[in-house]
Structure 1
Amino acid sequence: MDTRSGLYAELAAVGLYGVRPGHALITMVEPHPGHEYAYNRW
């Protein structure tokens, strides 16, 4: 199975991908029960 991980690593290393105001990190993760507060603080 070709996941193209090498290509993604190369793309992440070049280009205008810096962190700037006005951007958001959106994750679709379900923290373990009881760890929601710590996850949201992270």
Structure 2
Amino acid sequence: MSDSIQGNSGAWELHINDIQIISLTDTKHNRMRIISPIAESKAISY
């Protein structure tokens, strides 16, 4: 279960165990995207 949910119709930000999850929907094209970080930016090498 989410600790908190914020947002508007079609775009929500959730936090589960301190992990940010963003959900975006596009009803016109019947799509949903769920985005969550997988690593800290300082841990990513270029």
Structure with more contact order per residue of length (Cα contacts < 8 Å, sep ≥ 6):
2
Q: What TM-score, normalized by structure 1, do the two folds share?
A: 0.18
Q: What TM-score, normalized by structure 2, do the two folds share?
A: 0.17
Structure with higher helix content: 1
Bigger-Rg structure (1/2) = 1
Structure with higher strand content: 2
